[in-house]
Amino acid sequence: QRMATGSCQDRWLPNPLCTSQLHLRLYRFVGMLMGASIRTDACIELDLPGMVWKQLVGEECLREDVAAVDEVWNKDVQNCLGAETKQEWDAKARMWVVKSFTGRTDELVPGGAQKKVEWEEREAFVEAQVQMRINEFRAQVAAIQEGFSSVIPGIALP
């Protein structure tokens, strides 16, 4: 279930919960299809958000790339960064957790569901969220890269 907010709602996003060997073989097959489409000059329509294709080609993903897929998350991050005083931050009562693309709540640090984010940690908290969201489907992207490279070995994807 996607969060259904952001400017990239018409784009294909891998499911981070699909981690079984079967799922990863299917993502590898998607990569093989991508490679075959290049090799045969056949066009396949596979619209990927920036945070997926940037990972495929080794470019750096930014917070803005995640925001394009999940605007609600981005507003929450802006709210975190907008706290101007310790009292304002403490009133938010943030814990070291983030909602994933699948809607699941994940801990950013061990015991994060019980650990309060302190005022001094707010920027590290936001960065941890960004990194978790960017890396959430790293296994699926790696499988796509592997499939692509098996069809077009001369083009090295990172």
The reported pLDDT for the residue numbered 141 is 95
CA distance 38 to 34: 7
Helix (H, G, I), strand (E, B) or coil at 115: coil
The reported pLDDT for the residue numbered 1 is 39
CA distance 145 to 54: 12
pLDDT tens series, the chain, 158 aa: 344 555 666 788 999 999 999 999 999 999 999 999 988 988 888 899 999 999 998 899 999 999 998 888 999 999 988 989 999 999 989 999 999 988 899 999 999 999 999 999 999 999 999 999 999 999 999 999 999 999 988 665 55
The reported pLDDT for the residue numbered 94 is 93
